[in-house]
Amino acid sequence: MQMRLSQLEDELKKRFVYPYQWGRTQNNAWDQSTNFIYQTPYLAQVLTECERRFAVHKDAHERQNYALNRWYNFWSAWAIEKVFGSAMEVVPAQNPRDVEKDFFIQGLPFDHKTTVFPKSYPHSLAYAQGNPKSLIRWLYRHQSKENRRHFKNRLFIVLYDSYFEQHWQLKAHLIWLKALVDYYVNHFDTEQLIKVEIDEHPSILTDIIWAIR
């Protein structure tokens, strides 16, 4: 797909006029019914497809919200993966369907996940910043139960909006996020990675890129 990062940012920001509501826990059945979101980065086309597919459903509005959320999250994650992959120090994974890794940094495989600071995490942002292992363990244990669930190396981008508490909207600020990722990759140090053990799983190498406004 040929689209500048700034263009995709503009498209993602169009999502702001619609409430960010899931209405239900993400699940495979509803994912399959909304997989058309992978085909276009343009919000107008997604809305048109929602109308075509869901107009006859009594829960059409809920299905549209679900599709819009998946579209927004996918294309933001897609863009950040490309940002990582464009860095000289990073080697993209060969298999784009590999759910356990998106790229390699200094030979180490990593998946990446951009996530808002979770409301149900039982501590403050300040506590999490001072105790990142606590938040990382929480994120792994409460991650999706669906297709991308795993306990392998992961880099988290954690979003926090101090002003308006619209944390989810920060996923659209791709130029700003690129600057944070570029800084992290340029200063990447394996000695600074966080090693965690979760239940019976082997040790995980992980880290948090804090994206706070």
Q: In what order do the strands lie in the sheet with 204-212?
A: 90-92, 103-105, 108-116, 154-160, 204-212, 194-196
Q: What is the pLDDT of residue 2?
A: 63
Q: Give the residue carrying structure tokens 């619209």.
A: 166
pTM of the shown model: 0.91
Tens place of pLDDT per residue across the chain (213 aa): 568 999 999 999 999 999 898 888 888 888 999 999 999 999 999 999 999 999 988 889 999 999 999 999 999 999 999 999 999 899 999 988 888 899 999 999 999 999 999 999 999 999 999 999 999 999 999 876 655 678 899 999 999 999 989 999 999 999 999 999 999 999 999 999 999 998 888 899 999 999 999
Range of the domain at 190: 5-212
| Run of H or E including 129 | helix 125-130
Distance CA 179, CA 20 (A): 26
Rounded Cα distance between 55 and 63, Å, is 10
Residue 23: predicted pLDDT: 80
What's the pLDDT at 142? 87
According to the model, what pLDDT value does residue 147 have?
56
Give backbone dihedrals phi and psi of 110, rounded to 5 degrees, phi first.
-140, 140
Angle at 206 between CA 140 and CA 169, to 5 degrees: 65
What are the two backbone dihedrals, phi and then psi, of residue 182, each rounded to the nearest 5 degrees?
Answer: -60, -45
Number of domains in the chain: 1
pLDDT score recorded for residue 1: 53
Number of Cβ within 10 Å of residue 169's Cβ equals 19
Question: What pLDDT is stored for residue 146 in this prediction?
Answer: 56
Which residues, in sequence order, are CB contacts of 135 under 8 Å at separation 6+? 121, 123, 128, 158, 208
At 114, list the tokens.
């951009």
